[in-house]
A and B are shown apart, each in its own frame.
Chain A
Amino acid sequence: DQQVKQNSPSLSVQEGRISILNCDYTNSMFDYFLWYKKYPAEGPTFLISISSIKDKNEDGRFTVFLNKSAKHLSLHIVPSQPGDSAVYFCAASEGGAGGTSYGKLTFGQGTILTVHP
């Protein structure tokens, strides 16, 4: 049973517009959430994270929103750029800072984002 789900396999947007990538989770013990970006033939790279004690975290063009009651998070990219075209993975862990999760992450299936010039 997939505990982290990204139900949209792909997303296509125009350069300069907003990209919204969604992620749902079922495990109520998850308390730390991350987004990773992956280019072809490369490993995933960390993008942004959010703790369950927050509902929003912003870093430049990237903002992650967390709705704990709905067990839903989203990544907003504004404005989108062609270089943002990649696979985006949502991930979650239990235990957070100082916890016992040992950094183990549960990943979603990924969403392929294509930003057209």
Chain B
Amino acid sequence: NAGVTQTPKFRVLKTGQSMTLLCAQDMNHEYMYWYRQDPGMGLRLIHYSVGEGTTAKGEVPDGYNVSRLKKQNFLLGLESAAPSQTSVYFCASSYSTGGVRTGELFFGEGSRLTVL
């Protein structure tokens, strides 16, 4: 059982290049999220999805796009990378809220992106 898997783990981009981060979960979770972690800032929510075919903006969505075409996958795209997007990106998934399980997110190992 792999849990949440992110690819790639590392990537170096030049300013203006585009790329896509892939997140896959095998826990049949409804909700999926993309966070970024920067020094001194904690984790900040970029976009999230509450089900297949749905996406919504989080706290820091500018410069990113997402898609959830399949329930198990959540893609994060950078159309024109900027140095300010140098960060560690974490994907997470969770059960829908309600019942016993509330707020517990399962995270991937992270993807370190450097934009030169």
Contacts and interface: CB of A to CB of B under 8 A. Distances in A.
A98 interface: yes
Contacts of A6: 42
Contacts of B42: 2, 4, 6, 89, 107-110
Contacts of A91: 43, 103
A41 B42 CA distance: 15
A105 B45 contact: yes
Nearest to A109: B42
Contacts of B94: 103
Contacts of B108: 43
Contact of B103 (A9, A32, A41, A42): A32
Interface residues of A, number: 33
A57 to B, nearest CB: 13
Interface string B89-116: 0101011111100111111111000000
A102 B90 contact: no
A9 B108 CA distance: 24
A101 B103 CA distance: 9
Interface of A: 2, 4, 6, 9, 32, 34, 41-46, 49, 51, 89, 91, 93, 95-110
26 contacts: A32-B102, A42-B110, A43-B4, A43-B110, A44-B105, A44-B107, A45-B107, A46-B105, A49-B103, A51-B102, A91-B43, A93-B103, A97-B102, A101-B97, A102-B56, A102-B96, A103-B33, A103-B94, A103-B105, A104-B33, A104-B48, A104-B58, A106-B45, A107-B35, A107-B44, A109-B40
